[in-house]
Amino acid sequence: MSDRFGPGGTSIYSPVSGTNFDTNVGMFDPSSYIKDFMGKNSYPPTVRDIQTGCEISSTSVVDYNLQILQREGYLQRRREVSRGIELLGETATSTLRNLISIPVVGSIAAGEPLPLANTEQWNDTDFDNVDLPPFLTKGKENVFALRVKGESMVDALVGDGDLVLLEAIEQPQNGDMVAAWLKDREEATLKHFYLEGDKVKLVPANSYMQPITVAAANVSVRGRVVGVVRTM
């Protein structure tokens, strides 16, 4: 077991993970705090949450101790996501009961439109499912997931291979990111939606790509994006 500590820190022992940690301001057991936080909220804390909740002097101390937990195999971190802490092994057991199952119904273009199965036929039993914490769906019901193909939404932090979580709706607000079905092509695309009179403009979040403008009667919105699960 590691016994390395941060500069000027004091070693303490965590009974949850069985690991020594560094602290500059008294007792600091991040594994216990993370587990309690996720049990109450069904989503992981940010580094700032841990700093505040454990009354730690700085986020750098939190980060150092999280590195120890990750090195020892008790959690993994996705630094590009603010709540990218995932507990592993027995430490995660109590949080797994809170996960919800979301059907992954196919792929969608973030570039040129591509064919998508008729959403009226979507059924949870027909597709693979992904188990996710409830906070990712923002409390929405009738949520499904699509795998993104393409780079047209990168400025909205949606990249190739990511999963977008969508609430099944038909009447979005201007500016919403939607899965838009183009009836004449029988294809779907992921874009920002803008209704302009009898036209709909589908706008990418990529300065190198151009909007798609079509007749409003030719567009059927299948869902509005409520969350993103990013790939590494």
- Between 139 and 49, name the one with better pLDDT: 49
pTM: 0.59
- Is residue 150 in a domain? yes
Q: What is the mean pLDDT of the chain?
A: 76
- List the domain range (segments joined by +) for residue 27: 10-96
Q: What percent of the chain has pLDDT over 90?
A: 28
Q: From the CB of residue 155, how many other CB atoms can be counted at a distance below 10 Å?
A: 13
* 115 and 203 inside one domain: yes
End position of a domain, from candidates 96, 115, 136: 96
* 92 and 134 inside one domain: no
- Is residue 5 in a domain? no
Type and span of the H or E element at 152: none
Active site residues: 152, 191
State the CATH number of the domain containing residue 219.
2.10.109.10
Cα–Cα distances in angstroms (integers) from residue 62 to residues 4, 44, 101, 120, 205, in the given order? 15, 14, 31, 47, 34
Which ranges constitute the DSSP H helices of the chain?
A: 30-41, 47-53, 59-71, 93-96
- Is residue 42 in a domain? yes
Residue position matching structure tokens 């294809």: 187
**For 75, how many CA atoms within 13 A lie in the half-sphere containing its CB?**
28
Which ranges constitute the DSSP H helices of 12-144?
A: 30-41, 47-53, 59-71, 93-96
- Between 59 and 14, name the one with better pLDDT: 59
Relative to beta strand 143-149, strand 163-167 is: antiparallel
Q: Give the whole-angstrom CA distance, residue 64 versus residue 89.
A: 21
Q: From the CB of residue 197, how many other CB atoms can be counted at a distance below 10 Å?
A: 6
* 107 and 81 inside one domain: no
Handedness of CA 141, 144, 148, 152 (dihedral sign): negative
Please tell me the predicted confidence (pLDDT) of residue 80: 64
- Name the domain count of the chain: 2
pLDDT tens for each residue of 3-44: 333 334 433 334 334 444 443 433 355 777 877 787 777 677
